[in-house]
């Protein structure tokens, strides 16, 4: 009898252990197999520009470049070659950058666009007292200050310091101006040369003021065919006059001529006045360039 009770007790203990193990197994499955959350769709965020300090000025100010898009055909836009004397070309460049940031889809997929808003930051600082972006209220109205802001801190006219028919002195209106000690003697022009060498743009636009026209470029061997094409496209869309050559006075060592000498089409867009920014008409010209280079990569 005692042996029978002992067997029953053993069987009961085994049953209890079995039930306990089953419960523990079920509970651990419930703990480890939690319901999976539905996948969260990935939303592609628009990418901002690639920022790069491409050089520094005589006084150590940063020369900044911003690149939008990643297409193989590269376009370059440059403001502020003549610093604070042509401050509106700098504001135009910044407003264009604002537009690209707000409308990234405007750039065709085959293109990338770089903007150097202020190639001569020392000249801008001389007129505005600001580094980087500035407001209209910051701009001096003193004509002497404005004229001084055309040059870099070495008192060199940067658009006479490039390697196209360079001479130690050149002309601005009726004045003789310094063109530097040699082509690319200035850190600002050297920065642009290095940027062009690295990025190899298919076309370059320089913003100046105040001739109300779009000029082609050439150095020793005439105007490139593509230069005439982009001059006409920009001028026709924007409403500026198209001018194959600048003949108001002799110019040597200009950036556009240097680019022509190395086979890169470039144009000069002269705003109508020294005070107006003219974003809308320039956007029409820029979009015409985008379409031209989309069709002619």
Which residues are known to be catalytic? Answer: 270
Q: In angstroms, rounded to a whole number, what is the distance separating the alpha carbons of residues 194 and 244?
A: 27
Closest CA to 73 of 128, 112, 129: 112
> Which among 135, 132, 100, 133 is positioned nearest to 115, based on CA atoms?
100
Residues contacting residue 16 through CB under 8 Å, at least 6 positions apart: none
Q: How many Cα atoms within 13 Å fall on the side-chain side of residue 158? A: 33
- The tokens for 185 are 């003697």
- The first and second tokens of residue 238, run together, are 């924007």
Chain-centroid distance of CA 161 in Å reads: 23
Integer-rounded Cα Rg, in Å, for the chain is: 32
> What is the three-class DSSP state of 88?
helix
Tokens of 288: 């015409």
238 neighbors 281 (Cβ within 8 angstroms) = yes
Residue 288's Cβ-side half-sphere holds a number of Cα atoms within 13 Å equal to: 18
């Amino acid at each position: 009898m005692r042996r029978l009770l002992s067997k029953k007790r053993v069987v009961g203990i085994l049953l209890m252990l079995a039930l306990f193990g089953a419960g523990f197994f079920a509970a651990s499955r419930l703990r480890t197999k939690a319901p999976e959350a539905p996948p969260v769709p990935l939303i592609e965020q628009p990418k901002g520009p690639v920022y790069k300090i491409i050089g520094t000025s005589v006084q150590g100010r940063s020369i900044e470049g911003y690149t939008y898009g990643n297409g193989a055909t590269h376009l370059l836009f440059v403001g502020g070659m003549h610093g604070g004397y042509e401050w509106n070309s700098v504001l135009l460049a910044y407003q264009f950058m604002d537009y690209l940031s707000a409308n990234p889809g405007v750039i065709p997929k085959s293109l990338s666009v770089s903007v150097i808003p202020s190639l001569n930051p020392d000249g801008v600082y001389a007129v505005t007292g600001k580094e980087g972006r500035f407001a209209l209220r910051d701009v001096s109205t003193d004509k002497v200050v404005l004229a001084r802001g055309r040059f870099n801190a070495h008192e060199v006219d940067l658009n006479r310091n490039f390697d196209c028919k360079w001479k130690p002195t050149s002309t601005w209106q009726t004045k003789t101006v310094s063109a530097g000690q040699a082509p690319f003697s200035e850190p600002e022009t050297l920065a642009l040369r290095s940027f062009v060498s690295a990025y190899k743009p298919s076309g370059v636009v320089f913003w100046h003021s105040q001739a109300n026209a779009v000029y082609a470029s050439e150095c020793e061997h005439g105007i490139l065919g593509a230069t005439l094409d982009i001059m006409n496209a920009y001028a026709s869309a924007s409403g500026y006059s198209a001018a194959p050559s600048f003949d108001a006075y002799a110019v040597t060592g200009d950036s556009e001529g240097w680019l022509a000498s190395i086979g890169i089409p470039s144009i000069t867009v002269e705003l109508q006045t020294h005070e107006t920014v003219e974003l809308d008409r320039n956007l029409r010209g820029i979009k015409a360039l985008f379409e031209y280079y989309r069709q002619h990569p």
